């Protein structure tokens, strides 16, 4: 015969397992969405000359600096996870705020960069795929920052961090995916061109 506490623990483990599966399915579908955009980029690149379009100028050094900023946020997110595992709410909140700050700096730069570009989405196939791919990623960064902000609120309001864990794991996986996807976007648009 099982006790009530064993039943509750079993139900929590089952819910966490289902939640983790849901996050993995969502992230896999997100990767497939980006795959379609990358396929469009390389298809358009192979059928249009010159590539990038004449007059389409992008700042590689600026993009590199903010790629490092965004990539650094993965390390602060790992530190957030570790603090949560230790049950250290104070450091979890600090690392999480740093992650949000780094992601916010990246997002602010992306928006500023959009205002300084000398080409629009409808100017050429290059402009279309540039704005589409970077815009899709910008929406993911925005969603990730909202998710991390909600996690910060939840961490602040919850008495025990073990109630935050399943939620934190999903937010962390999403943020790492956003960072990895940006490395692919940066490599494709700014390095390979």
Alpha helices for 48-164 (secondary structure H) = 60-86, 89-116, 125-157
Task: Determine, yes or no, domain membership for 85.
Answer: yes
Residue 149 included in any domain: yes
Residue pair 189/58 in contact by the 8 Å Cβ criterion: yes
**Which pTM does this prediction carry?**
0.88
Average pLDDT over residues 4-31: 71
Res 157: pLDDT: 84
Which helix H or strand E contains 89, and what residues bound it? helix 89-116
Q: Residue 140 CB: number of other CB atoms within 10 A?
A: 19
For residue 68, being part of any structural domain is answered with: yes
Total domain count for the chain? 1
Q: For residues 102 and 76, is the Cβ–Cβ distance under 8 A?
A: yes
Average pLDDT over residues 46-60: 93
Kindly state whether residue 123 falls inside one of the protein's structural domains.
yes
Confidence of residue 21 (pLDDT cuts 50, 70, 90): confident
């Amino acid at each position: 015969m099982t006790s009530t506490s064993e039943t509750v623990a079993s139900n929590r483990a089952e819910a966490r397992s289902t939640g983790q599966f849901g996050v993995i399915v969502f992230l896999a579908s997100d990767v497939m969405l980006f795959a379609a955009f990358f396929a469009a980029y390389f298809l358009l690149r192979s059928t249009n000359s010159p590539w990038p379009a004449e007059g389409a100028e992008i700042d590689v050094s600026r993009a590199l600096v903010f790629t490092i900023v965004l990539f650094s946020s993965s390390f602060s997110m790992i530190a957030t996870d570790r603090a949560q595992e230790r049950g250290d709410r104070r450091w979890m909140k600090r690392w999480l705020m740093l992650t949000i700050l780094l992601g916010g700096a990246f997002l602010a730069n992306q928006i500023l960069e959009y205002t300084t570009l000398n080409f629009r989405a409808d100017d050429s196939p290059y402009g279309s795929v540039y704005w589409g791919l970077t815009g899709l990623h910008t929406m993911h960064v925005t969603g990730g920052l909202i998710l991390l902000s909600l996690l910060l609120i939840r961490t602040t309001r919850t008495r025990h961090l073990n109630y935050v864990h399943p939620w934190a794991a999903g937010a962390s996986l999403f943020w790492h995916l956003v960072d990895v996807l940006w490395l692919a976007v940066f490599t494709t648009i700014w390095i390979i061109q």
